Amino acid sequence: MEIHVNGWPTIERQLHRLEKRQGEIALLLEMSPAAVSQVKKGGFLLNPKQLEKIALFLQFDEEMRSDFYSELFNARLVCRQAPVPASQRQCEPYRVCLNTRGSTRKRRCNEIPLADLELLTGYETALESLSEYLLRNTPERKSDASFGIDVCALRIGSANAGTGLPPGSLIVIEGGRYPEPGGLNFVALRDGRYLLREYHPEGDSIRLASVFKDAEDDLVWHRGKTPGPVVWLHPVLEMTIRPPR
């Protein structure tokens, strides 16, 4: 999958297929041709509303929309020197699913609990697993979810709570597995925030690396410090990002 911070390879292919020109994107976004050239070079980031305008203008079907937003999400992850060799990293590029039918995962279970982030305020990690807590406290279920141990889905509310994802987005996490070096995790902090961070154990310290270019600084703490900033963290299996309509 080609990646570009504004999804330009996908945009360019569809412009050619529909026999449209780059200048039409400038008119659509009310930009100068020079500004669109900067967009093409990745000089600045298009916002969600601009991206959605392009997707509608270029008549993206469901599969193309998933490819487009997958390209964007992966490209906007922070580029940094990996703490472990690339050959040893177990992480793959993340696939953004814009509908349940478009999911690319092959291993499935029937249903998992689904809840808004606000429901997590009553969760005590020492007493039960996250999925058990959600099964008891929410009637909502998500079908065709990623396979794993103690899998559950969380919905982003009107405030993104530090995740960087738009409202209505879903994060599917696996509560029965420890994080892996370099893996993307959903992190609950003691101050009530929730973050999407890469997990990097580094000797006596642990670094939770920011994954978006405009996110806060990395979170670092030393082992043995009491209490640490993290209440719990679980690996992310899948994300469904809801662009504005």
Q: What is the pLDDT of residues 160-195, one digit of tens each?
A: 667 778 888 889 999 888 888 888 999 999 888 888
User: Using the 8-state DSSP alphabet, how is residue 181 labeled?
Assistant: T
pLDDT at 187: 92
Predicted pLDDT of residue 100? 38
DSSP-assigned states of every residue in the chain = ----TT-HHHHHHHHHHTT--HHHHHHHHT--HHHHHHHHHTSSPPPHHHHHHHHHHTT--HHHHHHHHHHHHHHTBPP---SS-GGG----PPPBPSSGGG-----EEEEEEEEEGGGGGG--TTTS-HHHHHHHH---EEEEEEPSSSEEEEE--SS-TTS-PPTT-EEEEETTS---TT-EEEEEETTS-EEEEEEEEETTEEEEEE-BTTSPPPEEEETT-SS-SEEEEEEEEEEE-----
Name which of 1-15, 128-142, 229-243 the model is least confident about. Answer: 1-15
Question: What's the pLDDT score for residue 214?
Answer: 63
Among 100-109, 151-160, 192-201, which is the least confidently predicted range? 100-109
**What is the mean predicted confidence (pLDDT) over 113-117?**
91
Q: What is the mean pLDDT of the chain?
A: 79
Identity of the amino acid at 222: H
Evaluate if residue 215 carries a pLDDT over 50.
Answer: yes
Tokens representing residue 18 in the block = 């529909």
For 6-41, how does the pLDDT look when each residue is reduced to its tens digit (9 = 90+)? 888 889 889 999 999 888 998 988 888 888 888 888
- CA 56 to chain centroid, in Å, comes to 22
Please write the tens of the pLDDT for every residue from 45-84.
Answer: 788 788 888 989 999 888 888 888 877 877 776 443 344 4
In the chain, what are the domains? 8-75 (1.10.260), 86-240 (2.10.109)
Q: Determine how many CB atoms are found less than 10 A away from the CB of residue 21.
A: 11
pLDDT at 234: 92
Burial class of 191 by CB neighbour count within 10 A (0 to 12, 13 to 18, 19+)? exposed
- Residue 94: what pLDDT? 60
Is the pLDDT confidence value at 104 over 50? no
119 pLDDT above the threshold of 70: yes
Alpha-carbon gap, residue 195 to 201, rounded angstroms: 17
Q: Are 151 and 111 in contact (CB under 8 A)?
A: no
Determine the Cα–Cα distance for residues 158 and 8; give it in Å rounded to an integer. Answer: 29
Q: What is the pLDDT of residue 159?
A: 65
CA–CA distance, 53 with 66 (Å, rounded to integer): 15
pLDDT class for 2, splitting at 50, 70, 90? Answer: low
